[in-house]
Structure formats: structure tokens, C-alpha cells
């Protein structure tokens, strides 16, 4: 099989690797589509993503969808050809503290597709085939293509951020940053019943994407932000923007931080956090919102305005570079849209 492997900064290769075989309770998924995420870009360009640093070659990709090609021993609830997307997380078995009970995204150690956070690293799904545990599979309803289902993972991230706001039905919400996650937060807010969603960015293309996904009012962040908004999602991850975002938040309001912030000391104007008694809370990946994401996509939520380009697996390095220079989502075609080609075994 072919796999997209990062070896270090500026060193992304498409390599041949042996076809995998599933163990008990596992399947082999013939991958069809993958979405390039900011972490893929960071590993490819810098050799790290946040605190995770490459120590070994890593197969990239955690936004993936495909069809089951091989069933492992004991797998009876799935069939060859079933279309699926994948929950990329494998939390540790360590019990969670009572403070975060049920929040499996906050385990001390979570192995995640395409992540170097643990050693050995957890290879991702940018490959012709990938072994997946059955508990990680999410079935795609009829009519939902694997191309669109590759966006279920980032939509799950957006839905989790909205969950951190609480009940948004009938509310006005401001989203700062209209890149892929910010635009999906707009869509998620509308799906959850928000009455009015405001979106700000410095990129007109990003704002157009947010508008297409449901934003009611757009702001060029260079010209100023809205004011007195009780519920805010900060999706840009730009430290310099935090002061203006806090000033845009109503006194006593809530800001959910879903945009990744730098891990190194960075100046930011945070005085309004105190003087306006703002609740500032983080949002990290998701628990199981990917299941809701699949249902929303199958129910007609149109996220195609997010798609900025499509590349073949052989052109993965070019796809990653393209993704770094666009506000939208770049997709990789990982394999043919038919499980009948390539690996043909039905059981390991």
C-alpha cells in the first residue's frame, strides 16, 4: 500500500508499506478520502505540532473516511464494503478524575491518528489501508459520501466547541476566525439553533466561506469587531487578537477558545478578562461529537463551501502546501471510490 509519511520539516514522502492485517475486534479500512488539518501542515513544515515533536517517521492524517475491506476475528456487526469514518482517538485505560468524568478527550494520554504526542507515535490514515478498532468506526448512512464524511472529524471539533458554550438556541454568537474550524463552528451553531451568528476575519475568502456556511453578519477584523456579545468562540488562535475579542465580549460573557494558541510566551492584552468578569474556557478535540457530525452531514448540512481543493495521494506534499495557503479544506483522494479494488481479502 501507499502512505503519506513525514520524516521531518519539509520532508514528506509517499512510501510503499506492507498491506496491514487486522487483529481480533479490528477491521482494515480501504481509505478513500482525507482532509488536511493544521496539525498535518505543522508536522510537515516544522516537524512538530504544539508540544508534540517528531521523533520517528509518522503517517499523517486523522480526518479520513473509506470502506471496510477486511474483517478481523470476532467482527460480526460490520460487513465488507460498509462506508465509514473514524473516531481517531484511543484514550488510555486510566480512570478519569471525577472533575472530568466522561470527558474522554481529557485523558492524561490519548493516542490520536497522525499524532506524535506519544512515543511510539500513532500513525494516521493518509494511506491506502488502515487497521481500525471497531469501536472507532462510525457508519455512514446511505447518501453520505466518503468525500464529505472526511469532514466529520473537524465538524466534531466545531460541535464540541459549541457544546462548551452551553445552550445556544435563540442566542447571538460571535465567532472570531473564519478558517476551516471557525467556518464549521458557524455551521455547528446554526445546526444547534443559534438565532444569529457573527463572523470576523482578515481574509475575505474566509469570510465568504463563513457566509456560505450560515454567518448572518461579517466583520473585517482590521476594521473592528462587534460589541457586547454574550457568547463568543475564538477560532483564530492568534494571540494578538485576544484583546479585541475580550473587548467584544459582553460583561459576564463567555469565550470558548478552540483556536490553538502558541505554547511559547506571547504578548496578549488580557485585562478585560478580569475587569469584565469574562469566563474564558478551552475546547480540545471532542468526546463523541463526531457521531452527531455524521448525522448532520447525512441530514443535509452542506459543508461543500469549505472544500478549497482536491489532490491525489501521490501529490500529498503539494496538497499540504496548498492547505497552508488557503482558508478552506484541502482533500486528499487516498484510494478509488470502490472497496473492490486493491486488497481483496474478506477476513484476516
Question: pLDDT in tens for each of the 348 residues of the chain?
Answer: 999 999 999 999 999 999 999 999 999 999 999 999 999 999 999 999 988 999 999 999 999 999 999 999 999 999 999 999 999 999 998 999 999 999 999 999 999 999 999 999 999 999 999 999 999 999 999 999 999 999 999 999 999 999 999 999 999 999 999 999 999 999 999 999 999 999 999 999 999 999 999 999 999 999 999 999 999 999 999 999 999 999 999 999 999 999 999 888 999 999 999 999 999 999 999 999 999 999 999 999 999 999 999 999 999 999 999 999 999 999 999 997 544 444 544 555
Backbone angles phi, psi at 253, to 5 degrees: -80, 180
Gyration radius of the chain over CA positions = 20
Do 26 and 70 meet the contact criterion of CB atoms below 8 Å apart? no
pLDDT for residue 112: 98
Q: If residue 58 lies in a helix (H) or strand (E), which one and from where to where?
A: strand 58-59
Asked if residues 150 and 63 have their Cβ atoms less than 8 Å apart, the reply is yes
10 Å CB burial of residue 191 (0-12, 13-18, 19+) is buried
- Complete domains list, the chain, with CATH: 2-151+303-333 (3.90.180.10), 155-282 (3.40.50.720)
Q: How many whole angstroms separate alpha carbon 247 and alpha carbon 301?
A: 32
Per DSSP, the three-state class of 318 is: helix
Are the CB atoms for 78 and 134 separated by under 8 Å?
yes
pTM: 0.95
Helices (H) and strands (E) in the chain, counts: 9, 20
The three-class DSSP label of residue 91 is strand
Q: Which helix (H) or strand (E) covers residue 146, if one does? A: helix 146-149
Q: 254 to each of 177, 219, 231, 337, how far by Cα in Å?
A: 16, 20, 5, 43
Amino acid at each position: 500500500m501507499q502512505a503519506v509519511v513525514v520524516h521531518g520539516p519539509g520532508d514528506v514522502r509517499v512510501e510503499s508499506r506492507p498491506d496491514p492485517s487486522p487483529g481480533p475486534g479490528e477491521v482494515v479500512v480501504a481509505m478513500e478520502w482525507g482532509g488536511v488539518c493544521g496539525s498535518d501542515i505543522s508536522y510537515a513544515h516544522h516537524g512538530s505540532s504544539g508540544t508534540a515533536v517528531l521523533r520517528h517517521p509518522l503517517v499523517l492524517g486523522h480526518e479520513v473516511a473509506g470502506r471496510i475491506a477486511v474483517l478481523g476475528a470476532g467482527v460480526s456487526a460490520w460487513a465488507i464494503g460498509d462506508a465509514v469514518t473514524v473516531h481517531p482517538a484511543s484514550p488510555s485505560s486510566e480512570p478519569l478524575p471525577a472533575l472530568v468524568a466522561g470527558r474522554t478527550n481529557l485523558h492524561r494520554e490519548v493516542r490520536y491518528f497522525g499524532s506524535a504526542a506519544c512515543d511510539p507515535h500513532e500513525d494516521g490514515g493518509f494511506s491506502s489501508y488502515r487497521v481500525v478498532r471497531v469501536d472507532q468506526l462510525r457508519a455512514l448512512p446511505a447518501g453520505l459520501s466518503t468525500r464529505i464524511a472526511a469532514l466529520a472529524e473537524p465538524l466534531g471539533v466545531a460541535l464540541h466547541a459549541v457544546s462548551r458554550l452551553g445552550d445556544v438556541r435563540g442566542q447571538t454568537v460571535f465567532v472570531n476566525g473564519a478558517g476551516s474550524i471557525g467556518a464549521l463552528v458557524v455551521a455547528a451553531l446554526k445546526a444547534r439553533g443559534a438565532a444569529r451568528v457573527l463572523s470576523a476575519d482578515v481574509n475575505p475568502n474566509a469570510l465568504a466561506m463563513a457566509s456560505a456556511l450560515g454567518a448572518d453578519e461579517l466583520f473585517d477584523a482590521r476594521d473592528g469587531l462587534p460589541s457586547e456579545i454574550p457568547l463568543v468562540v475564538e477560532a483564530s488562535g492568534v494571540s494578538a487578537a485576544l484583546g479585541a475579542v475580550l473587548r467584544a465580549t459582553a460583561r459576564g460573557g463567555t469565550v470558548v477558545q478552540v483556536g490553538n494558541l502558541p505554547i511559547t510566551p506571547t504578548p496578549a492584552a488580557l485585562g478585560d478578562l478580569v475587569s469584565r468578569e469574562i469566563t474564558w474556557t478551552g475546547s480540545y478535540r471532542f468526546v463523541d461529537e463526531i457521531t452527531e457530525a455524521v448525522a448532520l452531514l447525512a441530514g443535509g448540512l452542506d459543508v461543500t463551501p469549505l472544500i478549497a481543493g482536491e489532490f491525489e495521494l501521490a501529490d500529498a506534499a503539494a496538497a499540504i502546501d496548498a492547505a497552508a495557503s488557503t482558508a478552506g479544506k484541502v482533500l486528499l483522494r487516498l484510494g478509488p471510490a470502490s472497496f473492490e479494488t486493491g486488497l481483496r481479502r474478506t477476513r484476516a
